[in-house]
């Protein structure tokens, strides 16, 4: 008859007892006999409510997954055009400000269309204006630079120190 080292539900040791006695102890308490360490000699079993144990483990997993999502921040993109209207500009910088306050990085991109390509200095002015308007909540991770038909810049979160 195989024997197991039994741990009671309150954490106290019941000692090395036959398996059927350990199972009877668990059933008398309305709990389950769970094998904790099968490779030990003799195997270690614990009396516990296994359903409750599984539930608590799933809650822990969800909590760690949620915390890891909090720590990973996305890059949000705000797109401008060279001839952006004042109200549109204010709206877009307002969105960028909200993203930065939530802890996201912001990518400012300005795309030139058609003849706008001839006046790239206007595009750089728009992006630099956005950077100066957002400097109270951000730091420049990447200075504005021309990539093809786009001007791209990255803003990071200003540390709270």
**Residues spanned by the domain of 58:** 3-69
Q: Are residues 131 and 89 in the same domain?
A: yes
Residue-wise pLDDT tens for the chain (161 aa)?
589 999 998 889 989 999 999 999 999 999 999 999 989 889 999 999 999 999 999 999 998 887 776 555 788 999 999 889 999 999 999 999 999 988 889 999 999 988 888 888 999 999 999 999 999 999 999 999 998 899 999 999 887 65
pTM: predicted TM-score of the whole model, two decimal places: 0.55
Q: Are residues 65 and 90 in the same domain?
A: no
Q: Structural domain tally of the chain?
A: 2
Strands across the sheet with 150-157, in order?
Answer: 75-81, 105-111, 150-157, 138-147
3-state helix, strand, coil in the chain (%, to 5): 40, 35, 25
Q: Are residues 113 and 141 in the same domain?
A: yes
Cα separation, 32 vs 45, whole angstroms: 10
The pLDDT, as a whole number, for residue 45 is: 93
CATH number for the domain harbouring residue 29:
3.10.20.80
Strands 3-7 and 44-48: parallel
Asked which of 69, 101, 118 is the last residue of a domain, the reply is 69
């Amino acid at each position: 008859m195989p024997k197991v080292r039994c741990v009671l539900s309150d954490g106290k040791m019941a000692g090395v007892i036959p398996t059927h006695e350990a199972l009877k102890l668990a059933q008398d308490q309305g709990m389950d006999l769970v094998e904790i360490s099968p490779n030990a000699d003799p195997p270690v079993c614990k009396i516990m409510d296994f359903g409750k144990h599984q539930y608590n483990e799933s809650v822990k997993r969800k909590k760690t997954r949620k915390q890891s999502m909090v720590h990973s921040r996305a890059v949000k993109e705000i797109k401008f055009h060279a001839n952006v209207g004042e109200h549109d500009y204010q709206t877009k910088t307002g969105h960028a400000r909200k993203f930065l306050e939530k802890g996201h990085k912001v990518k400012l991109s300005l795309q030139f269309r058609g003849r706008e390509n001839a006046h790239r200095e206007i595009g750089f002015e728009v992006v630099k204006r956005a950077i100066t308007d957002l400097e109270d909540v951000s730091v420049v991770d990447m200075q504005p630079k021309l990539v093809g038909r786009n001007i791209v810049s990255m803003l990071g979160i200003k540390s709270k120190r």
